[in-house]
Amino acid sequence: MTAGATVRMEKPGLTAAGLYPLATMLIWSGNTIVTKASAGVIEPASISFYRWLIAFLVLTPFVAASVWRHRAVALASLPKLFVLGMLGMVIYQCLAYVAAETTTAVNMGVLVASMPLISVLLASALAAERLTSRAVVGGMVSLVGLVFLAARGDLRELARSGVHVGDVLMIIAIVANSLYAVLLRRWSLTLTLPMWPQLWWQIAFAVLVLFPLWLFSDISPITVASLPLVLFAALPTSLLAPFLWMQAIRRLGAARSSLYINLLPIFVAALAWLLLGEALQAYHILGGGLALIGVAVGVGGRAKGA
């Protein structure tokens, strides 16, 4: 491509550009399985700390020069970088690890798939983005599906015993991560600070905050059983997936890329069945289907403007 060539966004599909969000969904699906598999194997505070510490140590040699070169910009944005690190790396993933102890990987996958719609609603509330009728209708449909999913298909049981803790924690985690995306877009830090130094600072803050939590928790040493889980969370999920997602958004646009998140529960359900032996229940299909229809309605109309 010549210097003067015009970059044209490709239509969504299994094109070369479409492989970027597809690969991201596969990694995120694998991380959902890892999160579920870590329950009972390693303490949430331990895997959270080990994950980001390893990611920090691996990333630092590659970005140290860029971090130093952009230090003045980063120092001026430290409060924002701290907030982003807390939302996307501490609150989101720590709650997900705790949630995995009381909910299934399939539920987690369906709930995570609601992230684009939640981001749209938060963007309307916090970033003054226009809330369309599609987003409102989609939100209502998704809410019905998520309530049905959280009730395990029995709304009477939900009224009697209340919601399941794991599902509630997962929803809170997803709201935190959606807020991360909205603030990242609203603050536009990438206009002055490149993505990798920005990610380095966020990870550094996460390690700093997670260290005392790990130190005063029931520490789990890294074992033969937990090492693959920690490494998958630290390397493909924490470092490769952000790069692939950034490339997807650059080539397809944010709205079109977000449509690929609809594939997440399908991938998670398949992996959970193959690797964890989780059965797919009727309430997964009905509740998850409604949630995904709501997401498709809520964000589908935005693709044209991507």
Task: Check residues 288 and 31 and name the one with the higher pLDDT.
Answer: 31
- For residue 52, give the amino acid letter: W
> What value does the mean pLDDT take over residues 64-73?
94
- Tokens representing 166 are 């794991």
Q: What is the pTM of this model?
A: 0.75
Given a cut of 50, whether residue 2 has pLDDT beyond it is no
pLDDT score for 158:
55
Given a cut of 90, whether residue 153 has pLDDT beyond it is no
- Tokens representing 58 are 């691996």
Q: How confident is the model at residue 92 (pLDDT cuts 50, 70, 90)?
A: confident
Mean pLDDT, rounded, of the chain: 78
H helices present in the chain, as ranges: 19-38, 44-69, 71-76, 78-85, 92-99, 105-112, 115-126, 133-150, 155-161, 165-187, 195-215, 227-232, 241-252, 254-259, 264-271, 282-300
pLDDT score for 264:
75
Domain extent listing, the chain:
19-305
> What value does the mean pLDDT take over residues 224-247?
89
% of the chain surpassing 70 pLDDT: 69
